[in-house]
Amino acid sequence: MASIRLLRHATLLVELDGTTLLVDPMLSSPGEIPPIPNSPNDRENPLVALPEVDLDYDAVLVTHRHRDHFDDAAAEQLPADVPILCQPVEADAFENDGFEDVRPVEDSISFEGIELVRTPARHGHGDLAEQMAPVSGFVLAGEETLYLAGDTVWYDAVPETIDAHDPDAVVVNAGAAQFVEGEPITMTPEEVGEVRAHVDDDVPVIADHMDAINHCLATREDLAAAVDDVTIPADGERIEL
């Protein structure tokens, strides 16, 4: 049994084989985070509140430490002894935050019978992608296999990861996040369409990372109008797989 519950933006509760992972916790109240700089607007973040959902989880998985994926509120509110699964390069930062059980994922790691495989991601194009690095995606493998693509654009590593792991569901960070200059740094609706076209028809593609942060310019409405057969959950919505 597997399920994915979107809380807000890229913050998820992923349940797999009886184990629940809190993914990319951004726990701030609306307006507590300054606008992402060099963006086309100056709205304060998050734009919307967290839904009223019990945060019951066994470990925390952080794809990368940008503040819309791990914020000061998460550092303050998460228990010090919760297992933190993360990129190796960011392990020291979590330990400096006071977390006592930090488990860097070099290539793969097992947690409560779930295999977590760290996968490549590219957070933008050209020099900007280098500036935004490092970022990762993750494949979670139990009875079902889930691919969390992370903050990435569509490039060769994404279809290669899909082909290598044959996931039962794919979660993509959409929203076409963008600065005033340069190309989008997360998937555009057209790129989500590339993912939809690449996977089998019976594999759900679930899109999050929209309508919560000021530089994510493509909305849920934009994505729904551009691409058919993509699951676009509302905040708080749970998707059973």
Give the dihedral sign, CA 138/45/191/203.
positive
Query: What is the DSSP secondary structure assignment for residue 216, as one 8-state letter?
Result: B
- In this prediction the pTM is 0.98
Class of 2-233 per CATH? alpha beta
User: In the block, which residue shows the tokens 């139990």?
Assistant: 142
Do the beta carbons of residue 179 and residue 55 sit within 8 Å?
A: no
Report domain extents, the chain.
Answer: 2-233
End-to-end CA distance of the chain: 7
Question: How far, in whole angstroms, is CA 137 from its chain's centroid?
Answer: 8
Query: What is the DSSP secondary structure assignment for residue 175, as one 8-state letter?
Result: S
Q: What is the pLDDT along the chain (241 residues), one digit of tens a residue?
A: 899 999 999 999 999 999 999 999 999 999 999 999 999 999 999 999 999 999 999 999 999 999 999 999 999 999 999 999 999 999 999 999 999 999 999 999 999 999 999 999 999 999 999 999 999 999 999 999 999 999 999 999 999 999 999 999 999 999 999 999 999 999 999 999 999 999 999 999 999 999 999 999 999 999 999 999 999 999 999 999 9
Do the beta carbons of residue 36 and residue 213 sit within 8 Å?
A: yes
The span from the CA of 146 to the CA of 120, in Å, is 15
